[in-house]
Amino acid sequence: MNVNDNVNLKPFHTFGIDMPCDTLIEATTIEDIAQAFQSMEWIRKPKLLLGKGSNVLFTEPYQGVVIVNHLQGKTLTEKEGHYHLNISGGEDWPSLVDWTLEQGIGGLENLALIPGCAGSAPIQNIGAYGVEFKDVCEYVDYLDLADFKVKRLSAAECCFSYRDSIFKQALYNKVVITAVGLVLSKEWCPNLSYGPLAAHKDLLNTPKSVSDLVCEIRRSKLPDPAVMGNAGSFFKNPIISHEHYQQLKIAHPEMSGYETEVGVKIAAGWLIDRCGLKGHQVGGAQVHPQQALVLVNTGTASAKDVLDLAWFIKQSVKTKYGVELEHEVRFFTATEESKLDVILQESER
């Protein structure tokens, strides 16, 4: 366990904004994590578990303990018809996808190049190109912060839904994910339901070919955080009622949507683009000129620049389309996670 005080979090989150925290702990074992929560030195301080920092924005100096999950380890077992993987929470997700492909295992290729670590994947129920984490999940192991025992939930018990899970609801701030269990069929069947993949379906006859195309598409659309700070898709794709969708479709025939169990999912990036906001800038924060769903740090952005830009986008879309955008990026204040509107309301007091 590596412990340091007054650490700049810039290298630990992909937005790359200067922001200090009181204490940073780099944990390599489950015991390290348990000690960080149980030690009398830090027991009364706010705590935040961080993976790769690819989906967070620190809005002000964090007055607590940031615990970086460095748990490592991968095991593979085979049973009739399926591969079963146990992946430690700190493993890098893109590297994991590459590793499975090197082993000749398909099933994760649609999820290639999604930034973050394995332990973060079930929290957001990450997804791309027609596949979500829930489709490959067998179980999730977690450290219970009430009794500090490691427990397991089946995929069904995780209550997965669009960018949501039990870890953002009933178990929020009550557990630390230590490992995930994945189950992948030996009879590979590609999921080419999304447009860019469907258009090349005749050429996508191996998991590697699907992964290569997914990576090519993602790299063409999404800026590399190592070059230009960002947290990937900033807003969730909103799900609206069928009635609202039909009204918008009449006014905007070119709009497309995808049926879900609870309504119609529409593209947040399309809404932002049609508001003419590509390239729109507030201070050092900018809507990416090629991908409206991504807000980037041009090099000098402050957290306030990002917040103000996000609010302007949110209000612009609501005014034009009557659609309420919800940010996918998680915001952390000095002591806790918060929401955009709450942060801005408090700043005006």
Active site residue 274: no
Which is the catalytic residue, given 60, 138, 163, 330? 163
Q: In terms of Cα–Cα distance, which of 117, 10, 110 is closest to 66?
A: 10
Helix (H) / strand (E) containing 320 = helix 303-321
Distance, CA of 103 to CA of 1 (rounded, Å): 31
Give, in degrees to the nearest 5, the angle at Cα 301 between 300 and 302: 120
Which is the catalytic residue, given 54, 233, 274, 316? 233
Give, in degrees to the nearest 5, the angle at Cα 224 between 219 and 227: 145
CB 130 within 8 A of CB 234: no
Distance, CA of 148 to CA of 300 (rounded, Å): 41
Distance of CA 25 to the CA centre of its chain: 22
Number of other CB atoms surrounding residue 349 within 10 Å = 4
Active site residue 163: yes
* C-alpha distances out from residue 279 to 111, 267, 303, Å: 27, 18, 18
Distance, CA of 264 to CA of 309 (rounded, Å): 26
Q: In terms of Cα–Cα distance, which of 162, 183, 197, 226 is closest to 84?
A: 183
Which is the catalytic residue, given 328, 330, 337, 338? 328
Distance, CA of 197 to CA of 199 (rounded, Å): 5
Active site residue 338: no
Distance, CA of 70 to CA of 88 (rounded, Å): 9
Active site positions, annotated: 163, 233, 328
